[in-house]
Chain A
Amino acid sequence: EVQLVQSGAEVKKTGESLKISCKGSGFRFTFYWIGWVRQMPGKGLEWMGIIYPSDSDTKYSPSFEGQVTFSADRSISTAYLHWSSLKASDTAMYYCARLFCTNSSCSYDSWGQGTLVTVSS
């Protein structure tokens, strides 16, 4: 069974750093891109970008470029989302998702349970 398990909820203060994780199982982690999606409280889904764990190639949405960093440790099938200095506006639920590609398209077919990040001053 394909599974993505994310790390637990975090409560942090503005200016602090944070790294959350997404561990894959039931599939060859290095064969798939992993995407990150933000959902602010009461709002919709926002595509943040993707990482290819095999070589850590990354693609960021312009809205998130420079604000976050994606990384991965393929030896433990885990992808990470990192902030160096949190802002209150980073308060949101963050999802990781596997990008499954056919010959004609790609879609996010499996999702993590989400990690709630709360940032306060």
Chain B
Amino acid sequence: SYEVTQPPSVSVSPGQTARITCSGDALPKKYAFWYQQKSGQAPVLVIYEDKKRPSGIPERFSGSTSGTMATLTISGAQVEDEGDYYCFSTDSRGNPVFGGGTKLTVL
């Protein structure tokens, strides 16, 4: 079955730029979406259609793609950005899949 692959963890100091990657063979033709999940909370959509930001999401969150990789960038990461981040996309037939998640630590 199709998979999108993320690193298990990313760690940055406050104010630094955090980059979380998502790799998948279908990403050149399928959109990537990014969800943030803070401890004990439901996921929140932070990026849709590769690079668009929903209303209410801080400008420091941005998305990009290059070939088979999508990247979530948090410019000037803050302690409040700590949590798990999930890439979401579909395979070539449109079947949805979540990445395994990346734990972001900001300290």
User: CB distance A112 to B35 under 8 Å?
Assistant: no
Q: Mark B70-107, 1 if CB is under 8 A from A, else 0.
A: 00000000000000101010000001111111000000
User: CB distance A45 to B1 under 8 Å?
Assistant: no
| B-chain residues with CB within 8 Å of residue A45 when the two chains form the complex | 35, 37, 43, 86, 88, 98, 101
Interface size class of B (residues with CB under 8 A): 20 to 34
Q: B residues 5-47 with Cβ under 8 Å of A? A: 31, 33, 35, 37, 42-45
| A-chain residues with CB within 8 Å of residue B1 when the two chains form the complex | 62
The secondary structure that dominates the B interface is: strand
Q: List the 6 closest pairs (A to B, CB-CB), nearest first.
A: A111-B42, A44-B101, A45-B98, A47-B96, A107-B48, A105-B31
Extra contacts besides A44-B101, A61-B96, A111-B42 (12): CB < 8 Å: A37-B43, A44-B98, A45-B37, A45-B88, A45-B98, A46-B98, A47-B96, A61-B95, A95-B43, A107-B48, A107-B88, A111-B43
**Could you list 16 A-B pairs, sorted by A, with CB under 8 Å?**
A37-B43, A37-B98, A44-B86, A44-B98, A44-B101, A45-B101, A47-B98, A61-B96, A62-B1, A104-B31, A105-B31, A107-B49, A108-B43, A109-B54, A111-B44, A114-B42
